[in-house]
Amino acid sequence: MAAGVAAWLPFARAAAIGWMPVANCPMPLAPADKNKRQDELIILNVSGRRFQTWRTTLERYPDTLLGSTEKEFFFNEDTKEYFFDRDPEVFRCVLNFYRTGKLHYPRYECISAYDDELAFYGILPEIIGDCCYEEYKDRKRENAERLMDDNDSENNQESMPSLSFRQTMWRAFENPHTSTLALVFYYVTGFFIAVSVITNVVETVPCGTVPGSKELPCGERYSVAFFCLDTACVMIFTVEYLLRLFAPPSRYRFIRSVMSIIDVVAIMPYYIGLVMTDNEDVSGAFVTLRVFRVFRIFKFSRHSQGLRILGYTLKSCASELGFLLFSLTMAIIIFATVMFYAEKGSSASKFTSIPASFWYTIVTMTTLGYGDMVPKTIAGKIFGSICSLSGVLVIALPVPVIVSNFSRIYHQNQRADKRRAQKKARLARIRVAKTGSSNAYLHSKRNGLLNEALELTGTPEDEHMGKTTSLIESQHHHLLHCLEKTTGLSYLVDDPLLSVRTSTIKNHEFIDEQMFEQNCMESSMQNYPSTRSPSLSSHPGLTTTCCSRRSKKTTHLPNSNLPATRLRSMQELSTIHIQGSEQPSLTTRPPPTTSK
Amino acid sequence: MLTLEWESEGLQTVGIVVIICASLKLLHLLGLIDFSEDSVEDELEMATVRHRPEALELLEAQSKFTKKELQILYRGFKNECPSGVVNEETFKEIYSQFFPQGDSTTYAHFLFNAFDTDHNGAVSFEDFINGLSILLRGTVQEKLNWAFNLYDINKDGYITKEEMLDIMKAIYDMMGKCTYPVLKEDAPRQHVETFFQKMDKNKDGVVTIDEFIESCQKDENIMRSMQLFENVI
């Protein structure tokens, strides 16, 4: 039931008295209104902005947050108001929904923020009013496409499991930028397509005369050379086609795709020509087949994205093109008929029949005006001018639609490319921020340990080395520390190569972490191939350098820290270490050069 | 030869006529000349009717509602009809929201006529309150009076069988098609017969107000059901 109509329920019930005298049976009892509260104003404080409304207004929609008892969770006893820590701008729309029964979508609002708010208040976006629903759906679709785009490119870049030979080849065909071999292949095929097209064109150019006969086109003069070129190109194309046939995951779908059909059509004429004998009748058809060689130029669409976009645009504007064609046909027939009858009177007129007038009409409507057919009578000229004026209109109408479609798709593509380029920078920035926070943890841990060590050793100096951390930070750090204690490992900054010690010992020592990190970074930069074993052997030297810079405190362990992602590999390592060096690692004074 | 000449002449005339018509249309489009005379009146269509109800105290005195109840009623009223009056279309729309399954437009029409006491085609807030005051806070006599008024479609003081049949059909229409047991064709007529048997004392084929009130007061069910909606607000 709509919102305001709920207020008319008393009226509808009262009007039911009209049925009473006619009723044959007794009426059921009216439901008793148990909680007969006086309608009161309730205050909703959303991030400081106070909204007030009647309680009954909110209760119109009992399956939302504000209409149900769920809002009691947000009730603030001290100020006797409901406090929500959310965006007040969007709340305005939400509250208007209760008041008017219509949910509107403000255009300036970000679509995902709006969705989040709606989800929070338990309102389904489907009830957005007609005035705003289209806009909402459009923006949502755009956003979804964008996210899907991002996900796709992510998946493409990050899926580096070992692919089969076939799969690598398919990927190489689809994205030439994945490997140098693919790039080479891409350029070679492009070159040969160009060569083939130019050959076809030059073949027909008249090439000077052989004495004693008329001018010959180049193709016949140097027929052997051209034949060789053609053969070479077709070889390359055939090999390419066979490779493409072998690679795709779904051959059936590939065979049906447009590009594969173009490939086949491009190389077929040559083979048919080989098979064909020099029969007179058949060679006429064979010549026609040569026309299909020009389709090789379409193979360029694999190399040019703009061409693909153009093709896609034409496909998506099929209805507009169809309309254009239909209206043109209608107009042509009308005007051709009129012109034919108008010009019937004049002598020696070229408008011999209506189909003959078609040519005049087309030439006039597209404003070509060859002038080979011209009306001579006055009526003919009048109708001819009307024809040309209307031609301009009919053709000009669907064209902007096609253009705008093309522009939209093209810009979308450009945006996708731009986003991909920016993505790398964005991810790098995010990574830096993340390491910053983990650095903060290690920093605080160091300070914490230092304080512990200080307490143990009893030196009064350097007490206030640690910065005061916020409550949330300290709780977060405590959490990470608990994790460390649970697993028996501890965190390392960006260096999986260093040894992991079981940190069962109370007296954690730390070393000058900055130097430690520096050294570890350096060595990790040098020594980080994909394998891990060489790193083990480099440890002795490593730990020597690191441990030589120990602070003057008491016994210590090289404190190794790990990023959480490498924890698994490090656990593996740690078992190796523990097995390798059980006793020394568990004592408080391990020899620093113990190989781990 | 002559026919050919005539043909070309004829086509020339046709061509000239076409051009003249096109240019006239163009001028009309540009607004320089006007063909039809009634374009101006379209502008003044739909002058918004605005109605403000009488003061709260006055209404309180006139009706049997308290101030708070009047406030609640007015808020709901104004929400649905910001212009202050309900026309029949809106009335029907609102009423049909309560009976989604059936067709309540006929009954809403009768209701509208019952509420619109001054018959000006619109129900203002005062009319609304007056009606509700009778229905919810009035005496049984007043309620029965109101019901009689509702049934008496042409307001001549008598309920005829035809009027009653119309009302009955309207009520049954509200139920819709999907009922159990399935609605029979002559059920309204049967119902009207039962009603007249009960109400029409002197069997003259019409029911007057006195017969109506007397018969209803004798029927316990009806008396009880009249008290049913007291606590609606």
Q: How far is B169 from chain A (nearest CA, A)?
A: 12
pLDDT tens digits along A581-592: 444 444 444 444
pLDDT digit string, tens, across residues A394-433: 888 888 888 888 888 888 888 777 877 788 788 888 888 8
* Confidence at residue A562, expressed as pLDDT on a 0 to 100 scale: 41
Q: Per residue in A356-405, pLDDT tens?
A: 999 999 999 998 999 999 998 888 999 999 999 999 988 888 888 888 88
Give the E-state strand segments of chain B in sequence order: 85-87, 122-124, 158-160, 206-208
Per DSSP, the three-state class of A52 is strand
pLDDT digit string, tens, across residues A533-579 = 444 344 444 444 444 444 444 444 444 444 444 444 444 444 444 44
Spatial contact of A290 and A269, defined as CB atoms under 8 Å apart = yes
Test B15 with A379 for CB contact under 8 angstroms: yes
Whether the pLDDT of residue A303 is over 50: the answer is yes
Checking if the pLDDT of B168 tops 50, the result is yes
Could you give phi then psi for residue A589, rounded to 5 degrees? -120, 75
Angstroms from A99 CA to nearest CA on chain B: 9
Mean pLDDT, range B85-105, rounded to an integer: 83
What average pLDDT does range A43-64 have in this prediction? 89
Query: For position A386, what pLDDT does the model report?
Result: 92
Contact B45, B85 (CB under 8 A): no
Distance (Å, rounded) from C-alpha A231 to C-alpha A237?
10
Report the range of poorest mean pLDDT among A106-120, A214-228, B130-144. A214-228
Q: Which residues of A428-465 are buried (b: 16+ CB within 10 A; e: fewer)?
A: eeeeeeeeeebeebbebbbbbbbeebbeeeeeeeeeee
Q: Smallest Cβ distance to B111: which of A1, A4, A15?
A: A15
Coil/strand/helix, residue A43: strand
Read off the pLDDT of each residue in A197-210 and give the average, rounded to a whole number.
Answer: 82
How far A139 CA lies from chain B's nearest CA (Å)? Answer: 31
According to DSSP, the residues that pair with A50 across neighbouring strands are A45
Question: Cβ contact (<8 Å) for B73 and A10?
Answer: yes
Backbone phi, then psi, for B87, in 5-degree steps? -95, 175
Q: Give A477-515 pLDDT, tens digit per residue.
A: 777 777 777 766 666 544 443 334 434 334 343 334 444
- DSSP helix/strand/coil, B10: helix
Average pLDDT, chain A: 74
Cis peptide before B181 (omega within 30 of 0): yes
For range A3-10, the mean pLDDT: 65
Q: What pLDDT does residue A550 have? A: 45
pLDDT at position A450 is: 61
Q: Which among B94, B168, B232 has the least Cβ separation from residue A22?
A: B168
Please tell me which residue, B44 or A343, carries the higher pLDDT value.
A343
Write out chain B residues lying below 8 Å of A387, CB-based: none
Q: Is A418 exposed, middle or buried (0-12, 13-18, 19+ CB in 10 A)?
A: exposed
CA distance A336 to A330: 10
- Mutation for A interface: B9, B139, B228, most A CBs within 10 A: B228
Residue A448 is predicted with a pLDDT of 66
Q: Is the pLDDT of residue A334 over 50?
A: yes
Mutate to test the interface with B, among A1, A9, A20 (most CBs of B within 10 A): A20
**A27–B16: do the CB atoms touch at under 8 Å?**
no
Helix residue spans in A350-398 (DSSP H):
354-365, 378-396
Q: What is the mean pLDDT of residues B144-173?
A: 87
Give yes or no for residue A38 having a pLDDT over 50: yes
Q: Would the CB atoms of B221 and A25 count as touching at under 8 Å?
A: yes
Which member of A8, A9, A14 has the closest CB to residue B135?
Answer: A14
| Chain A (92-111) residues lying within 8 Å, Cβ to Cβ, of chain B | 99-100
Q: Which amino acid is at A53?
A: T
What pLDDT sits at residue B177? 75
What part of A 2-41 touches B (C-beta under 8 Å)? Answer: 2-27, 29-30, 33, 38-39
Q: Is A341 on the interface with B (CB under 8 A)?
A: yes
Mean pLDDT, residues B199-210:
85
**CB–CB of B225 and A20 under 8 A?**
yes
Neighbouring C-beta atoms of residue A264, cutoff 10 Å:
14
The answer to whether the CB of A27 falls within 8 A of the CB of B228 is yes
Cβ of B77 within 8 Å of Cβ of A7? The answer is yes
Instruction: Report the predicted TM-score, pTM, of the whole model to 2 decimal places.
Output: 0.52
Residue B69 has pLDDT above 80, yes or no: yes
Q: Rounded to a whole number, what is the distance in Å from the CA of A53 to chain B's nearest CA?
A: 12
d(CA B102, CA B173): 6
Q: In the numeric block, which tokens belong to residue B67?
A: 């101030």
Q: What is the pLDDT of residue A472?
A: 64
Contact pairs from chain A to chain B, CB under 8 Å = 130
- Give the nearest chain A residue to B144 (CA atoms): A21
pLDDT computed for residue A37 by the predictor = 59
- The least confident of A126-140, A250-264, B51-65 is B51-65
**pLDDT score of A35:** 55
Question: B224 and B216 in contact (C-beta within 8 Å)?
Answer: no
Q: B-contacting residues of A 383-422, CB under 8 Å?
A: 383, 386
Alpha carbons A379 and A300: distance in angstroms, whole number: 50
Chain B contact probe: residue of A5, A9, A11, A338 with most B CBs at under 10 A? A11
Instruction: Spell out which residues of chain B touch residue A17, defining contact as CB-CB under 8 Å.
Output: 135, 143, 146-147, 226, 228-229
Give the gap in angstroms from C-alpha B102 to the nearest C-alpha of chain A: 15
CA A158-A159-A161 angle, 5° bins: 130
Q: Which of residues 46-85 of A touch B (CB under 8 A)?
A: 54
